[in-house]
Chain A
Amino acid sequence: SQQGEEDPQALSIQEGENATMNCSYKTSINNLQWYRQNSGRGLVHLILIRSNEREKHSGRLRVTLDTSKKSSSLLITASRAADTASYFCATWGNQFYFGTGTSLTVIP
């Protein structure tokens, strides 16, 4: 499979803390995307980082990409209860591959 695992599989933090999720993949990529899925809903695109970028910011989100290690991380700063969701990384090979996801719970 193109896609590896995200870790951790589950993460529980207090509101206001930072949350870091990691993603690994197996083949070369053009870009890597992060999505959020609230329970029972569709996926929402968060951020796209291209293979020639090392870091990208969007509001409270910070994504890093290390193509030599085939890994990416998503940092959510100053977390809120509304950030509770599953987070997936995704890459395009000959199809779009999603990782297994990290389930984040932010406790108010």
Chain B
Amino acid sequence: EPEVTQTPSHQVTQMGQEVILRCVPISNHLYFYWYRQILGQKVEFLVSFYNNEISEKSEIFDDQFSVERPDGSNFTLKIRSTKLEDSAMYFCASSEAWTGNQPQHFGDGTRLSIL
């Protein structure tokens, strides 16, 4: 069964540094998402992406965050200047159609640790 893959599985970065998290969504999916989960807390929506542009974003997704689909397969999340509070699990997901009607498929996440 096709999977969403995320790399790296664990990223350790110094505060203030830029970090790029990578995801390969399922190939025929059209909608892409990023979520974060701070340890012990619930999963929080960051952004959805469709047709090469952001379709929705949450209040968490401020100017420090950006997303990109640089080629036909990868979907990236960039945090420009990391803060301690950015430490979390980051999950990428994709869906065949708008998730209002279709389930999302999640990767296993990248654990981001900011020192």
Q: Which residues of A contact B58 (CB under 8 A)?
A: 95
Question: In the bound complex, how far is the Cα of B33 from the Cα of A41, in angstroms?
Answer: 16
Contact A45 B104 (CB under 8 A): yes
Determine the residue in chain A with the shortest Cβ distance to B4. Answer: A42
Binding site secondary structure of chain B = loop
Q: Which of B22-73 contact A (CB under 8 A)?
A: 33, 35, 42-45, 48, 56-58
In the assembled complex, the Cα of A44 lies from the Cα of B104 at a distance in Å of 8
Is A67 located at the chain interface by the 8 A CB criterion?
no
B103 touches which one: A45, A98, A100 (CB < 8 A)? A45
Main secondary structure of the interface of A (DSSP, over half): strand
Q: Given that A30-B100, A42-B4 are known contacts, is A98 also in contact with B43, CB under 8 Å in the complex?
A: yes
The tally of CB-CB contacts under 8 A between chains A and B is 53
8 Å CB contacts to B: which residues of A40-68?
A: 40-45, 48
Binds A, one of B12-20, B75-83, B105-113: B105-113
- The 23 sampled A-B contact pairs (Cβ below 8 Å) are A30-B100, A31-B100, A35-B106, A37-B43, A40-B108, A42-B93, A42-B106, A42-B107, A42-B109, A43-B93, A43-B106, A45-B105, A48-B102, A88-B42, A92-B100, A94-B56, A95-B56, A96-B99, A96-B104, A98-B35, A98-B43, A98-B44, A99-B42
Binding site for B on A (CB under 8 A): 30-31, 33, 35, 37, 40-45, 48, 88, 92, 94-101
